[in-house]
Chain A
Amino acid sequence: DAMVIQNPRYQVTQFGKPVTLSCSQTLNHNVMYWYQQKSSQAPKLLFHYYDKDFNNEADTPDNFQSRRPNTSFCFLDIRSPGLGDAAMYLCATSRDVQANQPQHFGDGTRLSIL
C-alpha cells in the first residue's frame, strides 16, 4: 500500500550527539512536512518542502535542519539535541499545501535524549 514510512520508530541519542530521522513516501506527493509533537500537545510544524523548495517556520530552532534529496525521501537532522528536543517527530505528505489536500502522516519517530 502507498504510505509514509518513518524510521526508526524509536530513537535514543545522547545529549549533544547529532541524530537523523528519516521519512519516505510512496504517494509521490509534492509536499513533505516535519512536525514535533510533545505529550498532550498539538503537532508543531518545523518546516516543509514543496518539491525542492524549503520552507522554514520562523520559530524553528537552528538546531533543526532538513534535507530532501529526492521526491521520496526527507530527513530531519538535529545537530545538537537537548533534553527539550525529546518528542515524537511526525513526517507528513500532501499533494499541495492547501487545507483541502489531506496530510498523510507516518507513524512517527519517538526521540529520547539521554
Chain B
Amino acid sequence: GQSLEQPSEVTAVEGAIVQINCTYQTSGFYGLSWYQQHDGGAPTFLSYNALDGLEETGRFSSFLSRSDSYGYLLLQELQMKDSASYFCVGQENRDDKIIFGKGTRLHILP
C-alpha cells in the first residue's frame, strides 16, 4: 500500500518562505500532486510532479526526488491568505486510486 507523510503543522511569518515536505512509501509511483484547502472550503489543485525537479507556478513551487521518495511544496512571499491546509497526493500506478496525505496546516504570523 501507499502512505504519504507530511508534518501536521508549520508556522511561518508573512513575507517569508516556507517549505512543506512530503515523503512517500509506495510499491510504485505515478506522480505527486499538491492541493490547498482553506477552512470550510474545497481543496484546490496546486501542482503535479511526475519527474524529478522543480515545477514553478507563481509564488508556489513543487519539487520531486523519486530516488529519495520525497517532495516538497515551496511557498514564497507568504501572504496571510496562504493560511490553509496543504495535502500531498500520490498515486502508485496509472489507474490506481489517488491517496491524500494527512495534510499540513500552515499558520502565518503577521
The answer to whether A and B belong to the same complex is yes
A interface, CB within 8 angstroms of B? 40-45, 48, 55, 57, 90, 92, 97-100, 102-108
Residues of B with C-beta under 8 A to A40 = 103, 105
B interface, CB within 8 angstroms of A? 30-33, 35, 41-45, 48, 50, 87, 89-91, 94-95, 97-98, 100-103, 105
Contact of A99 among B44, B98, B105 (CB under 8 A): B98
Let me know if A98 and B45 touch, CB within 8 A.
no
Let me know if A99 and B91 touch, CB within 8 A.
yes
Let me know if B102 and A98 touch, CB within 8 A.
no
Report Cα–Cα, A57/B94, bound state, in Å: 17
For the residues of B in contact with A, the DSSP-based class is: loop
Residues of A with C-beta under 8 A to B103 = 40-42
Kindly name the residue among B31, B41, B45 whose own CB sees the greatest number of chain A CB atoms within 10 A.
B45
Q: Offer 29 A-B interface pairs, CB within 8 angstroms, sorted by A.
A: A40-B105, A42-B102, A43-B87, A43-B100, A44-B100, A48-B97, A55-B97, A90-B43, A92-B43, A97-B97, A97-B98, A98-B30, A98-B31, A98-B91, A98-B94, A99-B30, A99-B31, A99-B32, A99-B89, A99-B91, A99-B98, A100-B31, A100-B48, A102-B45, A102-B48, A103-B35, A105-B43, A106-B42, A108-B42
Report Cα–Cα, A105/B91, bound state, in Å: 18
Report Cα–Cα, A100/B103, bound state, in Å: 19
Report Cα–Cα, A63/B101, bound state, in Å: 25
- Chain A nearest CB from B27 CB (Å) reads 15
Contact of B42 among A42, A48, A90, A97 (CB under 8 A): A90
Residues of B with C-beta under 8 A to A57 = 97
- Chain B nearest CB from A64 CB (Å) reads 16
Report Cα–Cα, A35/B110, bound state, in Å: 34
Residues of A with C-beta under 8 A to B97 = 45, 48, 55, 57, 97
